[in-house]
Amino acid sequence: MEKIKSAYKKINLADWKRKEHFAVYRSQMKCGFSLTTKINIAKVLPFIKENGYKFYPVMIYLIARAVNKHDAFKMAMKEGELIVWDYVDPIYTVLHSETETFSALTAIYDKDFTRFMANYNDVGERHADNLHFFPEQPPENHFNISAIPWINFDSFNLHIADFTDYFAPSFTIGKYKKQADEILMPIAIQVHHAVCDGIHVAQLIATLEEYCENIETIIKSQV
């Protein structure tokens, strides 16, 4: 599918309620933070099984839909100005079992689940045998997702040496585990503090939990 260039809006820093926090965490005290939590996916797994979907792309869609609902996770610097993209595409890692390496692919985000899955499948087919880190140039408007499906972790942190003005968030999901009546999937979120605070991460997590709880409503109504 042909990529349509994402539009954006500029942030008027003079009137922005977070202008002081942005300045401090961007320049004076460059800072990001990570948070790991666990999401109940007890409604997600049977829905996937009943409809013949794969777990990873469904979770990518749910995370992407949650990210695109919140401006704090769509910010970037462009031509020296702070902007908010209209939408951001997920860059996600896929494993090459024969080499134990991975590639980072990008599926065009679409709120419609059927169209998103078509985009995801198209990318996977085109780059199935490509072992490069980036089989194609990633878009400017992006965020990051990776998976460690072999480990049920309690904490995960990415140590980025220099992420100056790199505001795209990163998500890492792990092996899910049954606990009482819940099936809990660990998810680690890393953000740049210049554009994102704890309250914004909490809001995104609440959105993702809502989508996982009501997956049949938000997906099946579209297919």
Catalytic residue numbers read 193
HSE at residue 154, side-chain half, CA atoms within 13 A, is 0
C-alpha distances (whole Å) from 53 to each of 30, 48, 118 are 41, 5, 12
Pairing mode, if any, of strands 32-40 and 170-174?
A: unpaired
Using CA atoms, how far residue 165 sits from 79, 188, 199, in Å, is: 12, 21, 21
CA 179 vs. chain centroid, Å, equals 25
In sequence order, the 6+-apart residues with CB closer than 8 A to the CB of 8 are 76, 78, 83, 84, 85, 86, 141
Rounded CA separation 172/138 (Å): 18
What are the tokens at 115?
A: 């169209």
Task: Let me know the angle formed at the C-alpha of 131 by 129 and 136, rounded to the nearest 5 degrees.
Answer: 90
5's tokens: 């260039």
